[in-house]
């Protein structure tokens, strides 16, 4: 028996030993290609699992798996396109930035990152995978902001005009919690396609008029960005909505259904889920002064801190003048020549460490040395007041409303342009 035959014997034995009913296990499957990227079935399944769990918790009836799969694939295609754009831009989310976001999320829930980890793992999910999902969400948000911001211009005249309109409106204090369903119409659709979309929109209106649950209908029928969230756009004032929505919502009552409204994107159906009012804006402001010392190769962290500790002792004992020390030693170019002084300012605009140190002081009290991202400081609280910032808030609000409206409109146009320029193929 030659060598070849000797090798074949054990191989044949191994083959015969395998069960004849054994099947190949498919580990994953490509469900869509996006340029040179892909959407995997496992990613779609993950979204479906989460949507179903949320629906079960909220006692919401869902449409068929096929409808949910279409929505999930569309969402993942958009994510892949934005990931590709982020790669081209060289955008990365560092671990430090990610940890800061997770800490903020945990704090909003009244816990720590450790508590957040425990809750994620208790639900049977990997915390590391969850971290990467949050990293992706941050990246997508930043990519979208970077791409869309440059398309938006708001003139001072626009702000002034909107402030005037707000002042004249009797309902200027109202905000609306809006539900949204979009029956999409392609930009190149023919009259027959447009009529078919109109009929689908009318059918959706029939379902809603019959009392069917809005969230379920939105998940099943909407092509909007918030479809998988039940079409929930959240709270918006009249002037931060797209113009089409704003005109339609004026004067409507809670639970009113509006539509179909025609736009370039398709047919829109809105639900006014709730209404609330705004209040006068007051802000705590502080007047303060500080001395900043930046550690360097020559000046260590310890020496910088000790130098400021010595200044604080001399100032408390009346042996030194704060303004003179700031002019001579402070490395903050914006305040050193003014004796380290800052004019009346909302403390929330300061770096967190500086804000927290400042708000812990009594009037005229001088802090111990503390570290911020800029270096080592001592700070003195000179005065504190509660200021009526309603007028400034109105100007800021007008700008914010205009920006949000334009951002929504430009975001949709930008995403549609991205899709039209991309090579996308959904595999049945």
What is the domain partition of the chain in residue ranges? 30-149, 173-279+394-421, 282-388
- Flag the least confident range among 35-39, 238-242, 370-374: 238-242
The answer to whether residues 35 and 84 touch, using CB atoms and an 8 Å cutoff, is yes
Per-residue model confidence as pLDDT tens digits over 154-175: 998 998 888 878 766 654 567 8
CATH architecture of 282-388: Roll (3.10)
Structural element, H or E, at residue 92: none
The CATH class for the domain spanning 173-279+394-421 reads alpha beta
Reference 379, options 361, 401, 395, 405; nearest CA is 361
CA distances from 255 to 44, 59, 213, 222, 244 (A): 33, 20, 12, 19, 19
**pLDDT at residue 60 in the model:** 85
Four-point Cα dihedral 377, 378, 384, 389, nearest 10: -10
**pLDDT at residue 241 in the model:** 87
Per-residue model confidence as pLDDT tens digits over 147-156: 888 899 999 8
Read off the pTM: 0.49
Reference 86, options 36, 144, 134, 150; nearest CA is 144
Bigger pLDDT: 411 vs 24:
411
Q: Do domains 173-279+394-421 and 282-388 have the same CATH topology?
A: yes
CA distances from 339 to 185, 334, 373, 380 (A): 63, 10, 21, 12
Mean pLDDT across the chain, nearest whole number? Answer: 86
Q: Which fold has domain 30-149?
A: Triger factor/SurA peptide-binding fold (1.10.4030)
**Average pLDDT, integer, range 32-59:** 89
For residue 418, the 8-state DSSP code is H
**pLDDT at residue 10 in the model:** 41
Flag whether pLDDT at 391 surpasses 50: yes
Cα separation, 388 vs 8, in Å, equals: 90
Sequence-ordered list of residues with C-beta below 8 angstroms from that of 221, at least 6 positions apart, any chain: 181, 183, 200, 204
Structural element, H or E, at residue 297: none
Flag whether pLDDT at 353 surpasses 60: yes
Residue 20: strand, helix, or coil: coil
**pLDDT at residue 390 in the model:** 66
Sequence-ordered list of residues with C-beta below 8 angstroms from that of 14, at least 6 positions apart, any chain: none
The answer to whether residues 82 and 419 touch, using CB atoms and an 8 Å cutoff, is no
**pLDDT at residue 312 in the model:** 96
Flag whether pLDDT at 61 surpasses 90: no
Q: Please, which pLDDT band fits residue 352 given cuts at 50, 70 and 90?
A: confident
The answer to whether residues 159 and 398 touch, using CB atoms and an 8 Å cutoff, is yes
Flag whether pLDDT at 18 surpasses 50: no
The answer to whether residues 269 and 208 touch, using CB atoms and an 8 Å cutoff, is yes
């Amino acid at each position: 028996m030659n060598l070849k035959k000797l090798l074949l014997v054990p191989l044949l034995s191994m083959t015969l030993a395998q069960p004849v009913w054994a099947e190949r296990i498919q580990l994953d499957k490509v469900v869509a290609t996006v340029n040179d990227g892909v959407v995997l079935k496992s990613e779609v399944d993950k979204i479906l699992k989460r949507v179903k769990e949320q629906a079960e918790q909220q006692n919401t009836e869902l449409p068929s798996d096929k409808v949910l799969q279409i929505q999930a694939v569309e969402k993942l295609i958009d994510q892949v396109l934005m990931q590709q754009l982020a790669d081209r831009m060289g955008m990365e989310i560092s671990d430090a930035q990610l940890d800061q976001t997770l800490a903020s999320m945990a704090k909003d829930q009244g816990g720590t990152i450790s508590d957040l980890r425990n809750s994620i793992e208790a639900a049977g999910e990997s915390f590391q995978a969850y971290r990467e999902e949050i990293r992706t969400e941050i990246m997508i948000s930043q990519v979208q902001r970077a791409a869309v911001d440059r398309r938006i211009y708001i003139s001072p005249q626009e702000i002034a005009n909107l402030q005037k309109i707000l002042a004249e409106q009797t309902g200027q204090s109202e905000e609306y919690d809006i539900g949204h369903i979009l029956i999409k119409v392609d930009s190149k659709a023919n009259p027959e396609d447009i009529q078919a979309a109109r009929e689908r929109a009318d059918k959706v209106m029939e379902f809603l008029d019959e009392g069917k649950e809005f969230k379920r209908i939105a998940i099943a029928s909407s092509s909007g960005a918030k479809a998988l969230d039940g079409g929930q756009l959240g709270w918006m004032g009249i002037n931060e909505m797209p113009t089409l929505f704003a005109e339609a919502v004026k004067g409507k009552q809670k639970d009113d259904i509006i539509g179909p409204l025609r736009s370039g994107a398709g047919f829109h159906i809105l639900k006014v889920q709730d209404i609330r009012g705004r209040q006068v804006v007051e802000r705590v402001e502080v007047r303060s002064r500080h001395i900043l010392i930046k550690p360097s190769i020559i000046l260590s962290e310890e020496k910088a801190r000790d130098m400021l500790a010595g200044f604080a002792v001399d100032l408390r004992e009346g042996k030194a003048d704060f303004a003179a020390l700031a002019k001579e030693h402070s490395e903050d170019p914006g305040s050193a020549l003014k004796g380290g002084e800052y004019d009346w300012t909302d403390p929330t605009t300061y770096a967190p460490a500086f804000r927290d140190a400042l708000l812990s002081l009594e009037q005229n009290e001088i802090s111990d040395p503390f570290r911020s991202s800029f270096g080592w400081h001592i700070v003195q609280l000179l005065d504190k007041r509660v200021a009526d910032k309603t007028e400034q808030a109105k100007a800021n609000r007008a700008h914010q409303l205009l920006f949000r409206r334009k951002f929504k409109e430009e975001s949709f146009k930008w995403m549609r342009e991205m899709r039209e320029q991309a090579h996308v193929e959904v595999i049945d």
